[in-house]
Amino acid sequence: MKKICTLLLSLLIVTEFGCSKAQLDKINTDPTKSPGESYNPDELLSTAQFKSSNKGYYQLLYQSTMMQLLASTYLYYNNGDKYVNAGSFTDYQGRIFEEGYADASTIREMQRLAKQNDPVKYSNLINIGDIMFVLILQRITDTYGDVPYSQASKARDGIKYPVYDKQEDIYNSMLTDLDKAINGLDPAKPKPTADLFYQGDIIKWKKFGYALMLRVAMRLTKVAPDKARPWVEKAAAAGLFSDISDNTLVMTDESNLDGQNGTSLALRTVSDYREVRWSQTLIDELRKTNDPRLGVIAEVPQNGLANNINENLTGNIDPAVQIGLPNGYDLSGGAYDISKYAGYPGGTGTGADFAPLGKYSRPRTSVYLKLGGPNFVMTYAETEFLMAEAKVRGWNIPGTAAGHYANGLRGALKGMGQLDKLAEIPDAVINDYVTKHPLDESSNEKAFEMINTQYWVTTGTYFNFIESWLNWKRSGYPRLTPVNYPGNVTNGTIPRRLIYLSTEVLNNTDNYKAAVARLPGGDLLTSRVWWDQ
């Protein structure tokens, strides 16, 4: 990471954190090439936080469209939009594995340096490292299944070919590791000095640790609810996020390429900007309940192709004109060309200036395509929705299911302002919407559907598409209708996992084969990880 100056957003105040050239040079110094005592391990925390949160195409080509939050007619989006292995872009399936372990190794190196330099002084940093390690590894194991955990990031110890732990064992370790790390945090001890999440606020780190514990435990509701329950109750009793000021996010830096928001940067590519739209599934869901987010997240481009691809022209944000693009269509001129769709609204412009997708809603440029915009990691709304579900299950959770659901909905709407001031929704509008849309507790199924559909909307409109997919796999909501495009590799079903990093087949052959043998169906998009059975 070169020359990254980062903006930190905490509470409801945006605080600027300036990085001098000397600091940046220090961040980019390879600690393995310099004496450990001369290197500040704090700087490695910001490196791992930035890189692990800034996923770009790693979440766009698959999760965003698989979850029918975005839709696209462009070639390389066929991977997620239509479950087709399009060209060399299948390599992106392994990027969460590859990049995730790089981030995990950065964390372990940070901890090594901290222990070498002064384990007492860096006690909080070391424990935060263990929390970060769980955050990163959960995403990896939830994406692929069995992966290295106990032997991960131990090349210094001579372990070049780590074993793939069973996911059940990984989850046991993650929960106990989190518990130990949270208990080790001490506000009286020195704070991290380069923390992009919470600026070294240890109280907030404790909340984050327990929120992560809640997320980890709730992944087990399908396969091991009895194991999930005590951990959920422990996290709830200890204290979770209080409001959106606890939202975990990392601001990016538009002033240099390496520090820019990766997702925004990708969507500014001409082909993406021209052909990536909000999905019909999401827009229809928002319209169904007159959701005020519809008026701040979407815009219809100005007429004509030239205007359509001009990033400097604002679109029409009137909720009444927003139309979502159905997933599963292209612009090839054949049977699946979008013009053949029964509800096709037509394009805009004429001749060489014709924009076939001109009437479909795209993510609002001024809100979502800021190169210095935030990357959301975890939010108050998500934790409240999970608490609501736990309460519906009858677990010993403070408050009521309806109360937690209302808090989650209010937090989701309120948090839109953290994307950009243009996306702020007035409190009166939020309160009116929450009041008119209480949780339906007439049956557990209806409650689960409402809760997890809102989780999907929230993570989707925050552009946290990986989490949208993972919670959908766990909960089954919303009920999405898969597309069945010619040449798809899943028999017309939404992928349940991604395939392992291709180099693992050659470099860690025996351990890779052992893990694949434990997967029902093998290393395929349709195989299910342990907790998704």
pLDDT truncated to tens, each residue of the chain (533 aa)? Answer: 333 333 333 322 333 323 333 332 333 344 444 444 567 899 999 999 999 999 999 999 999 999 999 999 999 999 999 999 987 777 889 999 999 999 999 999 999 999 999 999 999 999 999 999 999 999 999 999 999 999 999 999 999 999 999 999 999 999 999 999 999 999 999 999 999 999 999 999 999 999 999 999 999 999 999 999 999 999 999 999 999 999 999 999 999 989 999 999 999 999 999 999 999 999 999 999 999 999 999 999 999 999 999 999 999 999 999 999 999 999 999 999 999 999 999 999 999 999 999 999 999 999 999 999 999 999 999 999 999 999 999 999 999 999 999 999 999 999 999 999 999 999 999 999 999 999 999 999 999 999 999 999 999 999 999 999 999 999 999 999 999 999 999 999 999 999 999 999 999 999 999 999 999 999 999 999 999 99
Q: Is the peptide bond before 478 cis (omega within 30 degrees of 0)?
A: yes
Residue 165's beta-bridge partner residues? Answer: 147
Quick one: tokens of 242? Answer: 């209080």
CA contacts within 13 A on the Cβ side of 507 = 10
3-class secondary-structure state, position 243: coil
Quick one: tokens of 112? Answer: 């090594």
Q: What is the pLDDT of residue 16?
A: 30
336 C-beta neighbours (distance < 10 Å), count: 17
Q: Please state, in angstroms and rounded to a whole number, the distance separating the CA atoms of residues 439 and 428.
A: 19
Task: Check: CB of residue 374 under 8 Å from CB of residue 197.
Answer: no
Q: What is the pLDDT of residue 278?
A: 98
What CATH fold (topology level) applies to the domain 7-38+79-252+373-475? 1.25.40
Task: Check: CB of residue 452 under 8 Å from CB of residue 385.
Answer: yes
Residue with tokens 């987010």: 293
Q: What is the pLDDT of residue 89?
A: 76
Task: Check: CB of residue 161 under 8 Å from CB of residue 93.
Answer: no
Residues in the chain: 533
CA 511, distance to chain mean position in Å, is 28
Quick one: tokens of 51? Answer: 């890189």
Task: Check: CB of residue 263 under 8 Å from CB of residue 55.
Answer: yes
SS3 content of the chain, % helix, strand, coil (to 5): 55, 5, 40
The CB-based long-range contact list for 456-459 (8 Å cut-off, 24+ gap) reads 456/67, 456/69, 457/282, 457/285, 457/286, 457/291, 457/293, 457/412, 458/379, 458/381, 458/382, 458/385, 458/408, 458/412, 459/376, 459/382
Helices (H), 219-341: 225-238, 262-267, 270-275, 280-288, 294-297, 305-308
Task: Check: CB of residue 69 under 8 Å from CB of residue 263.
Answer: no
Task: Check: CB of residue 74 under 8 Å from CB of residue 475.
Answer: no
Task: Check: CB of residue 380 under 8 Å from CB of residue 246.
Answer: yes
Task: Check: CB of residue 303 under 8 Å from CB of residue 347.
Answer: no
Q: What is the pLDDT of residue 39?
A: 74
Residue 121's beta-bridge partner residues? Answer: none
Q: What angle do CA 436, 441, 447 make, to 5 degrees?
A: 90
285 C-beta neighbours (distance < 10 Å), count: 21
Q: What is the pLDDT of residue 306?
A: 98
Ramachandran angles phi, psi of 250, nearest 5°: -125, 125
Distances (CA, A) of 508 to 80, 126, 161, 505: 27, 29, 5, 6
The domain segmentation of the chain, as residue ranges, is 7-38+79-252+373-475, 264-368
Q: What is the pLDDT of residue 40?
A: 87
Q: What is the pLDDT of residue 90?
A: 79
Of 320, 324, 325, 317, nearest to 425 (Cα)?
Answer: 317
The DSSP call for residue 245 is G
Q: Please state, in angstroms and rounded to a whole number, the distance separating the CA atoms of residues 507 and 54.
A: 27
Element housing 50 (H / E): helix 42-53
Distances (CA, A) of 269 to 57, 72, 74, 256, 276: 11, 13, 12, 17, 10
Ramachandran angles phi, psi of 15, nearest 5°: -110, 130
Element housing 8 (H / E): strand 7-10
Q: Please state, in angstroms and rounded to a whole number, the distance separating the CA atoms of residues 167 and 141.
A: 7
Residue 348's beta-bridge partner residues? Answer: 355
Q: What is the pLDDT of residue 37?
A: 55
